[in-house]
């Protein structure tokens, strides 16, 4: 029997009418924002399913925009996120995709661009009660919740890279809760997702970057 806490029953602290459409949306965007360094210059949200049908009435658009600016689910600035984004010079756009139906009903693609021109595409799903999961980074399917501090390594699918990652973490006494590898196909781009019970030391991320097959390292602290 799975354990359900009182917080799962009551739902999260939040601004807005729906744990799935507002709190979950804000949480997805907040987690996505932590994956891209630098100042954000533009963001495009592509909405699917019920997100696409009800995003204005449920405040999903304001929640997503608030999350991408770093607002938590209970931040009282969320209702004013449009005005705040415009004041900050953040370009934003919402696109409805009602063609793809074989997808979780509360799904959003977030395409972010920073001031250096670097882009990152993140797909997230709001699965109920304010809980979320990330299911795609760029064109690679992944699966993690953001409930733990997370290390995301973008790498070439080459022998020895995983051993390098785990050695760097072990040398700094990191306790790995979960570790998964995702890849486009053999020998192409792969993502190592490492979730930890405690904070992940930035020094470990810097050491991981030294491997010639590592393209980028994202550190998401919870």
pLDDT single digits (tens) 21-44: 689 999 999 999 999 999 999 999
Q: Could you report the per-residue pLDDT of 104-161, keeping only the tens digit for each?
A: 989 999 999 999 999 999 999 999 888 999 999 998 999 999 999 999 999 999 999 9
Write out the two tokens for 164. Answer: 């390098």
pLDDT digits (tens, 9 = 90+) for 167-183: 999 999 999 999 999 99
CA distance 215 to 207: 13
* 181-220 pLDDT tens trace: 999 888 899 999 999 988 999 999 999 999 999 999 999 9
**Quick one: pLDDT band at residue 64, thresholds 50, 70, 90?**
very high
Name 24's Cβ contacts closer than 8 Å, sequence gap at least 6.
Answer: 106, 126, 127, 128, 130, 131, 132
For residues 64-88, average pLDDT: 95
Confidence class for position 16, pLDDT limits 50, 70, 90:
very low
Mean pLDDT of 93-104: 91
Model confidence at 8, pLDDT cuts 50, 70, 90, reads very low
DSSP letter, residue 39:
-
By C-alpha distance, which of 221, 153, 137 is closest to 193?
Answer: 153
């Amino acid at each position: 029997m799975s354990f359900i806490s009182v917080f799962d029953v009551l739902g999260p602290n939040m601004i807005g009418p729906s744990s799935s459409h507002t709190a979950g949306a804000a949480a997805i965007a907040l987690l996505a924002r932590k994956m891209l360094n630098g100042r954000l210059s533009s963001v495009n949200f592509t909405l699917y399913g019920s997100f696409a049908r009800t995003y204005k009435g449920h405040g999903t658009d304001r929640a997503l925009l608030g999350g991408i600016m770093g607002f938590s689910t209970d931040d009282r600035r969320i209702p004013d996120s449009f005005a705040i984004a415009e004041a900050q010079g953040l370009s934003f756009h919402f696109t409805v995709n009602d063609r793809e139906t074989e997808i979780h009903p509360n799904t959003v693609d977030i395409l972010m661009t920073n001031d250096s021109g670097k882009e990152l595409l993140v797909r997230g799903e709001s699965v109920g009660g304010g809980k979320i999961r990330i299911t795609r980074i760029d064109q690679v399917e992944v699966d993690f919740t953001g409930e733990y501090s997370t290390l995301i390594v973008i790498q070439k699918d080459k022998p020895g890279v995983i051993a390098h990652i785990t050695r760097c973490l072990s040398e700094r006494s990191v306790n790995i809760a979960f570790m998964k590898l995702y890849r486009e196909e053999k020998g192409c781009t792969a993502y190592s997702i490492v979730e930890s019970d405690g904070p992940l030391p930035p020094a470990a991320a810097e050491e991981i970057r030294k491997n010639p097959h590592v393209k980028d390292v994202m550190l998401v602290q919870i």
